[in-house]
Amino acid sequence: MMKKLRYPFIIGLMAVALAACGSDSANEKSANEDKAKTAQTDEQDQTKQAKEQQKQMEEMQKKLDKQKVDDNKTVAVVNDEKILGLDYNQALTSSQMQLQQMGQDPTSKEAAKQVKNQAIDNLVGQTLLLQDAKEKGYKASNDEIDKQIADAKKQYKTEKEFNAALKQANLDMEQLKAQVADNIQYTKYVEKEIPAGKVTDQEIQSYYDQYTKQGESSDQKLPKLEEVKPQIKQQLEQQKKNEKIVEQVKELKKNAKIDVKI
């Protein structure tokens, strides 16, 4: 929450006493009046522009909200485990935001179908992985859950702000604890069952060469390989892990019973 400013900003003209008078003074007065009118017109244009942008954002949000379903609606059943609308709506919002960041309209007919399928696929995959994690004995202790929630609370100045964020996410404390527990189980499972795989120096060099080739057209000074090698390695490891997670989901789907309801 932004702190209040101690002193208000005063917008206006400051009168300046000038020695000159007569026609020069009249001309200056006229010029000042013209400047004031121009400033007022610019301010009005900016206000109008801001209102139009706000209206467009509100209209877009209404269209996005129409793609959501009731929080208690069963959107899919995976091995007798129900996936509810609350989880679907959160996954849908994430997919919508990704498309918007890519400069695409998530409310078009084709995009709406894409974000819907992506949200369902992500939820089904996560559910299958969590089911496998629980079956293999991965657990989250109360201490681990409490620690993660305590760390999350540190991002907020007050308990009231934290609770407001929970409400905005349509979550209560029990639902948050359940999500945190799932996240801990999932993390343990992925780290143990789906290792990242080794990244070779050749792969790092190839990635760096592509990166520098893209940056050759700009005047920006490119970093040396040694400076960015750790970041490139980490990114390539994550890519490999993501590919393995996708493969794991495919394997789990072979023996799974999946019923999509929407």
235 and 112, same structural domain? yes
| In-domain check, residue 6 | no
62 and 189, same structural domain? no
234 and 108, same structural domain? yes
Percent of the chain past pLDDT 70, that is, above it, reads: 81
Count: domains in the chain: 2
Other CB atoms within 10 A of residue 233 CB: 17
| In-domain check, residue 107 | yes
Please tell me the predicted confidence (pLDDT) of residue 37: 61
| pLDDT category of residue 19 using cuts at 50, 70 and 90 | very low
Please tell me the predicted confidence (pLDDT) of residue 10: 27
Domain that residue 111 falls in: 58-130+198-205+224-262
141 and 98, same structural domain? no
Please tell me the predicted confidence (pLDDT) of residue 53: 80
| In-domain check, residue 236 | yes
91 and 63, same structural domain? yes
| In-domain check, residue 45 | no
Tens digits of per-residue pLDDT, 74-99? 999 999 999 999 889 989 998 899 88
| In-domain check, residue 215 | no
Tens digits of per-residue pLDDT, 192-220? 998 878 899 999 999 998 888 876 666 67
Give the 3-state DSSP-derived string for 53-91, with helices as H, strands as E and coil as C. Answer: HHHHHHHHHHHHHHCCCCCCCEEEEECCEEEEHHHHHHH
Q: Which of 153, 172, 193 is the last residue of a domain?
A: 193
Q: In whole angstroms, how far apart are CA 54 and each of 11, 47, 57, 59, 131?
A: 24, 10, 5, 9, 43
Q: Please list, in sequence order, all residues whose beta carbon lies within 8 angstroms of the beta carbon of residue 177, skipping any fewer than 6 positions away.
A: 145, 149
Percent of the chain past pLDDT 90, that is, above it, reads: 51
Q: Is 160 helix (H, G, I), strand (E, B) or coil?
A: helix
123 and 78, same structural domain? yes
80 and 62, same structural domain? yes
| In-domain check, residue 183 | yes
Sheet holding 81-84, edge to edge: 81-84, 74-78, 258-260
| In-domain check, residue 12 | no
| In-domain check, residue 237 | yes
Please tell me the predicted confidence (pLDDT) of residue 68: 93
Please tell me the predicted confidence (pLDDT) of residue 31: 59
pLDDT at 168 over 70: yes
Q: Which of 146, 171, 193 is the last residue of a domain?
A: 193
Averaged confidence pLDDT in the chain:
83
123 and 140, same structural domain? no
